[in-house]
Structure 1
Amino acid sequence: LSLIDKYNSNKIIRLIETIGNGCSYGYLVKNFEITRTKLNKYLSELEQRSIIQRDEYKPVLEFIHEDLIPLLSLQGFETADFKLLTKLAQILDGSVSIRSAALNLHVDPAVIKKLLDKYESAVKILT
């Protein structure tokens, strides 16, 4: 059973209108009483059905060279960060959005975005 089938049509129409007016995830989560994960799944379903369309940044994360690991550790990266970066390096090839990767890995998109920003900053400092 899809998330769309779980909602009544009034709620779907209200959500689509709200998205059309432009709003943040936080606003949708608060006003529709839904978790961010469910909201992402719901928005993905609306997008797959061509009801809404979103432009998304689709990053490319290249292989993390072993020489960088000690340097990244000095920049504050932890074991969990390296595990997530390794998984992301396999997924983020320029064809997948952060949101899609988050759904696939069952991680909040904000966590992935923050980690990628932290990684990008660390690599800039190191080079």
Structure 2
Amino acid sequence: LIVERGAQDMASEIGRFPRLFRGVESVPGLTWPTLAFQGEMRLWLGSLELHIMQLGRGHTKGDTVVWVPAEAVLYSGDLVEYDAACYTGDAYLADWPRTLDRLAELNAKKLIPGRGPALESPEK
């Protein structure tokens, strides 16, 4: 996505939010990743296992979530937004419901959305 849209997205955000980007000219440009993955990558933080996963498109083409299986906590990014307006300018609306179904299959006890407060129980 950086190759495809990075410069365009950066210019767009600078134009939309100039106050947040004061001094941006001192930034040398886009930062390229040093590590990439497809599908799923597992990381260990001490004894805590994290799954970084791409479960499908929805909010954008590059939606990525973080699953903490030992705690049943899901960081959904902007695939889930709670009590917030949802921007869909780059969305894949036909794919989004299927991707949300895949999130639901994880049976998270807690969900941290991309925007809004944490959902601290499955009922929420």
Same fold per superposition (TM over 0.5): no
Q: Please state which structure has a larger fraction of its residues in strand.
A: 2
* TM-score, normalised with respect to structure 2: 0.25
* TM-score, normalised with respect to structure 1: 0.25
Max Rg structure: 1
